[in-house]
Amino acid sequence: MDKRARVTLPTEENFFEETKELMARWGADAIRDSDGTELEKNIMQLPAKVYKTYFVARGHNEFIKGHLEERQQVYLMSKRCVATGDYTLEIDLMDGYYREQLEPDYTHDPKRWWEVINRTTGEVVPAEQWQVKRSEGVVVIDHIQPFHEYTVSFLAYIKWDPTHMYNHITNDWGDIPHDIPFDVHQPNSRQFMQDYLRQWLADNPETDVVRFTTFFYHFTLIFNDLAKEKFVDWFGYGATVSVKALEAFEEAKGYALRPEDLVDNGYYNTAFRVPSAAYLDYIDYISEFVCEEARQLVEIVHEHDKEAMMFLGDNWIGTEPYGKYFERIGMDAVVGSVGDGATLRMISDIPHIKYSEGRFLPYFFPDTFYEGNNPVVEANERWIAARRAQLRSPLDRMGYGGYPSLAYKFPEFVDYIEEVTDEFRDIVDKIDGSQPEVKLTVGIMSAWGSLRTWQHFMVAHALWYKQIYSYLGILESLSGMAVDVKFVSFDEVVSGECLAELDVLINAGDEMTAFSGGEQWAKPELQTAIRRFVHRGGGFVGVGDPSAYQQNGRHFQLADVLGVDKEVGFSLSTNAPENAPVASHFITDGLGELDFGEGKANIYPTNRETTILVGSEHGEVSLSTATYGRGRSVYLAGLPYSIANTRLLLKVLLYAAGKEADYEIWHASNPNVEVNVYPEKGLYAIVNNTTVAQETEIFDGEGQVETITLAPSELRWEELS
Amino acid sequence: MDKRARVTLPTEENFFEETKELMARWGADAIRDSDGTELEKNIMQLPAKVYKTYFVARGHNEFIKGHLEERQQVYLMSKRCVATGDYTLEIDLMDGYYREQLEPDYTHDPKRWWEVINRTTGEVVPAEQWQVKRSEGVVVIDHIQPFHEYTVSFLAYIKWDPTHMYNHITNDWGDIPHDIPFDVHQPNSRQFMQDYLRQWLADNPETDVVRFTTFFYHFTLIFNDLAKEKFVDWFGYGATVSVKALEAFEEAKGYALRPEDLVDNGYYNTAFRVPSAAYLDYIDYISEFVCEEARQLVEIVHEHDKEAMMFLGDNWIGTEPYGKYFERIGMDAVVGSVGDGATLRMISDIPHIKYSEGRFLPYFFPDTFYEGNNPVVEANERWIAARRAQLRSPLDRMGYGGYPSLAYKFPEFVDYIEEVTDEFRDIVDKIDGSQPEVKLTVGIMSAWGSLRTWQHFMVAHALWYKQIYSYLGILESLSGMAVDVKFVSFDEVVSGECLAELDVLINAGDEMTAFSGGEQWAKPELQTAIRRFVHRGGGFVGVGDPSAYQQNGRHFQLADVLGVDKEVGFSLSTNAPENAPVASHFITDGLGELDFGEGKANIYPTNRETTILVGSEHGEVSLSTATYGRGRSVYLAGLPYSIANTRLLLKVLLYAAGKEADYEIWHASNPNVEVNVYPEKGLYAIVNNTTVAQETEIFDGEGQVETITLAPSELRWEELS
Instruction: Convert B63-76 into a string of H (helix), E (strand) and C (coil).
Output: HHCCCHHHECEEEE
Alpha-helical segments (H) within A511-582? 524-535, 559-562
C-alpha torsion sign, points B615, B621, B622, B628 = positive
Looking at the predicted structure, is the pLDDT value of residue B444 above 60?
yes
To the nearest whole angstrom, how far is the Cα of B243 from the nearest Cα of chain A?
A: 25
A467 → closest Cβ in B146, B220, B569: B569
B570 → closest Cβ in A272, A509, A560: A272
Residue B681 has phi, psi (to 5 degrees) of -100, -5
The confidence score (pLDDT) of residue B703 equals 80
To the nearest whole angstrom, how far is the Cα of B618 from the nearest Cα of chain A?
A: 8
B517 alpha carbon, distance to own chain's centre: 18
B314 catalytically annotated:
yes
Cβ-contact A29, A1 below 8 angstroms: no
The pLDDT tens digits for B297-337 are: 999 999 999 999 999 999 999 999 999 999 999 999 999 99
The pLDDT tens digits for B18-39 are: 999 999 999 999 999 865 566 6
Task: For B94-172, list the strands marked E by DSSP.
Answer: 102-104, 115-118, 123-124, 130-133, 138-141, 149-158
pLDDT mean over A683-690: 98
Distance, CA of A110 to CA of A101 (rounded, Å): 20
Cis link prior to A275 (omega < 30° from 0)?
no
pLDDT mean over A401-423: 95
Cβ-contact A71, A181 below 8 angstroms: yes
B114 alpha carbon, distance to own chain's centre: 31
Nearest CA in chain B to A228: B575
Taking Cα atoms as reference points, which of B640, B642, B566 lies closest to residue B598? B640
The pLDDT tens digits for B572-585 are: 999 999 999 999 99
- pLDDT band per the 50, 70, 90 thresholds, residue B462: confident
Q: What does the CA dihedral B2, B3, B6, B8 come to, rounded to 10 degrees?
A: -150
Q: Which residues of B touch A602 (CB under 8 A)?
A: 466-467
To the nearest whole angstrom, how far is the Cα of A142 from the nearest Cα of chain B?
A: 18
DSSP assignment of A163-183: HHHHHHHHTT-TTPPPPPPB-
Q: Which residues of A touch B629 (CB under 8 A)?
A: 84
Taking Cα atoms as reference points, which of B496, B552, B560, B611 lies closest to residue A83? B560
Cβ-contact B220, B262 below 8 angstroms: no
To the nearest whole angstrom, how far is the Cα of A583 from the nearest Cα of chain B?
A: 24
B148 → closest Cβ in A460, A524, A569: A524
Determine the residue among B125, B147, B571 to mutate to test chain A binding: the one whose Cβ has the most chain A Cβ atoms within 10 Å.
B147
The confidence score (pLDDT) of residue A35 equals 59
Looking at the predicted structure, is the pLDDT value of residue A642 above 60?
yes
Taking Cα atoms as reference points, which of A506, A449, A454 lies closest to residue A476? A454
Looking at the predicted structure, is the pLDDT value of residue A360 above 80?
yes
Distance, CA of A419 to CA of A426 (rounded, Å): 10
Q: In what order do the strands lie in the sheet with A130-133?
A: A89-92, A138-141, A130-133
A510 → closest Cβ in B229, B233, B569: B569
Q: Which residues of A touch B146 (CB under 8 A)?
A: 528, 532
| Helices B375-390/B341-348 angle, 10° precision | 50
Taking Cα atoms as reference points, which of B437, B489, B540, B509 lies closest to residue B280? B489
Cβ-contact A701, A668 below 8 angstroms: no
The confidence score (pLDDT) of residue B447 equals 97
Distance, CA of A43 to CA of A39 (rounded, Å): 7
C-alpha torsion sign, points A577, A582, A587, A592 = positive
Buried b (16+ CB within 10 A) or exposed e, B173-184: eeeeebbbbbbb
Question: Which listed residue (B29, B314, B349, B484) is catalytic?
Answer: B314
Nearest CA in chain B to A566: B467
Q: Which residues of B touch A575 (CB under 8 A)?
A: 224, 228-232
Higher-pLDDT residue of A36, A126: A126
Taking Cα atoms as reference points, which of B312, B361, B364, B315 lies closest to residue B340? B361
DSSP assignment of A394-459: --SEEE--B-HHHHHT-HHHHHHHHHHHHHHHHHHHHHTTPPPP-SEEEEEEESSGGGGTT-TT-S
Q: Which residues of A touch B236 (CB under 8 A)?
A: 573
- pLDDT band per the 50, 70, 90 thresholds, residue A3: confident
Q: Is B384 helix (H, G, I), strand (E, B) or coil?
A: helix
Looking at the predicted structure, is the pLDDT value of residue A34 above 80?
no
Q: Which residues of B touch A572 (CB under 8 A)?
A: 270, 272, 459, 465, 467-468
Q: How many degrees, rounded to 5, is the angle at CA B381 between CA B379 and CA B386?
A: 90
Distance, CA of B111 to CA of A107 (rounded, Å): 68
Q: Which residues of B touch A233 (CB under 8 A)?
A: 573
Radius of gyration, alpha carbons of chain A: 27
- pLDDT band per the 50, 70, 90 thresholds, residue B2: low
To the nearest whole angstrom, how far is the Cα of B307 from the nearest Cα of chain A?
A: 35
The pLDDT tens digits for A454-504 are: 999 999 988 999 999 999 999 999 999 999 999 999 999 999 888 999 999
Question: Which listed residue (A314, A340, A396, A484) is catalytic?
Answer: A314
Other CB atoms within 10 A of residue A44 CB: 11
Nearest CA in chain B to A263: B553
To the nearest whole angstrom, how far is the Cα of B379 from the nearest Cα of chain A?
A: 27
Nearest CA in chain A to B273: A570
The separation between the first and the last C-alpha atoms of chain A, rounded to the nearest angstrom, is 23
A120 → closest Cβ in B220, B524, B629: B524
Looking at the predicted structure, is the pLDDT value of residue A1 above 60?
no
Which CA distances in Å does B497 have to A298, B443, B501, B522, B526? 70, 12, 8, 20, 12
Q: Which residues of A touch B575 (CB under 8 A)?
A: 224, 228-232
Cβ-contact B461, B418 below 8 angstroms: no
Of A43-47, A449-453, B100-104, B375-379, least confident by mean pLDDT is: A43-47
To the nearest whole angstrom, how far is the Cα of B569 from the nearest Cα of chain A?
A: 6
DSSP assignment of B489-532: EHHHHHH-GGGGG-SEEEEEESTTSTTT-GGGGG-HHHHHHHHH
Say if the Cβ atoms of A512 and B568 lie within 8 Å.
yes
Q: Which residues of B touch A510 (CB under 8 A)?
A: 568-569
Say if the Cβ atoms of B528 and A148 lie within 8 Å.
yes
Radius of gyration, alpha carbons of chain B: 27
Determine the residue among A472, A570, A618 to mutate to test chain B binding: the one whose Cβ has the most chain B Cβ atoms within 10 Å.
A570
Q: How many degrees, rounded to 5, is the angle at CA B36 between CA B35 and CA B37?
A: 95
Looking at the predicted structure, is the pLDDT value of residue A376 above 60?
yes
Taking Cα atoms as reference points, which of A403, A322, A320, A412 lies closest to residue A367? A403
The confidence score (pLDDT) of residue B40 equals 65
**To which H or E segment does residue B699 belong?**
strand B694-699
Residue B539's contacts (CB-CB under 8 Å, 6 or more residues apart) are: B503, B504, B505, B631, B632, B633, B634, B653, B655, B656, B657, B658
| Helices A469-479/A341-348 angle, 10° precision | 60
Q: Is B415 helix (H, G, I), strand (E, B) or coil?
A: helix
pLDDT mean over A65-82: 97
To the nearest whole angstrom, how far is the Cα of A589 from the nearest Cα of chain B?
A: 30
Give the number of beta-carbon pairs within 8 Å between A and B: 170
Q: Which residues of B touch A225 (CB under 8 A)?
A: none
Say if the Cβ atoms of B84 and A629 lie within 8 Å.
yes
Average pLDDT of chain A to the nearest whole number = 95
Cβ-contact B326, B291 below 8 angstroms: yes
- pLDDT band per the 50, 70, 90 thresholds, residue A43: confident
The pLDDT tens digits for B207-235 are: 999 999 989 999 999 999 999 999 999 99
A531 → closest Cβ in B82, B554, B618: B82
Looking at the predicted structure, is the pLDDT value of residue A40 above 80?
no
The confidence score (pLDDT) of residue A46 equals 81
Nearest CA in chain B to A235: B573
The pLDDT tens digits for B371-383 are: 999 999 999 999 9
SS3 labels along A28-57: CCEEECCCCCCCCCCHHHCCCEEEEEECCC
Looking at the predicted structure, is the pLDDT value of residue A167 above 70?
yes
Say if the Cβ atoms of B528 and A146 lie within 8 Å.
yes
Nearest CA in chain B to A461: B573
Alpha-helical segments (H) within B27-134? 61-64, 110-113
B560 → closest Cβ in A80, A122, A554: A80
Distance, CA of A402 to CA of A143 (rounded, Å): 58
The pLDDT tens digits for A85-138 are: 889 999 999 999 999 999 999 999 999 999 999 999 999 999 999 999 999 999
B560 → closest Cβ in A149, A510, A554: A149
Determine the residue among A151, A572, A604 to mutate to test chain B binding: the one whose Cβ has the most chain B Cβ atoms within 10 Å.
A572
The confidence score (pLDDT) of residue A286 equals 98
B608 alpha carbon, distance to own chain's centre: 40
Say if the Cβ atoms of B511 and A465 lie within 8 Å.
no
B535 → closest Cβ in A84, A459, A568: A84
Instruction: Tell me the HSE value of B47 on the side-chain side, using a 13 A CA sphere.
Output: 10
Q: Which residues of A touch B512 (CB under 8 A)?
A: 550, 568-569
Q: Is B474 helix (H, G, I), strand (E, B) or coil?
A: helix
Cβ-contact A216, A287 below 8 angstroms: no
**To which H or E segment does residue A359 belong?**
strand A355-360
The confidence score (pLDDT) of residue B36 equals 59
Of A664-668, B94-98, B462-466, B542-546, least confident by mean pLDDT is: B462-466
Average pLDDT of chain B to the nearest whole number = 95
Say if the Cβ atoms of B120 and A524 lie within 8 Å.
yes
To the nearest whole angstrom, how far is the Cα of A40 from the nearest Cα of chain B?
A: 39
Cβ-contact A557, A549 below 8 angstroms: yes
The confidence score (pLDDT) of residue B175 equals 92
pLDDT mean over B105-124: 97
Nearest CA in chain B to A77: B553
Distance, CA of B192 to CA of B187 (rounded, Å): 9
Number of residues written out for chain A = 721
Distance, CA of A437 to CA of A51 (rounded, Å): 35
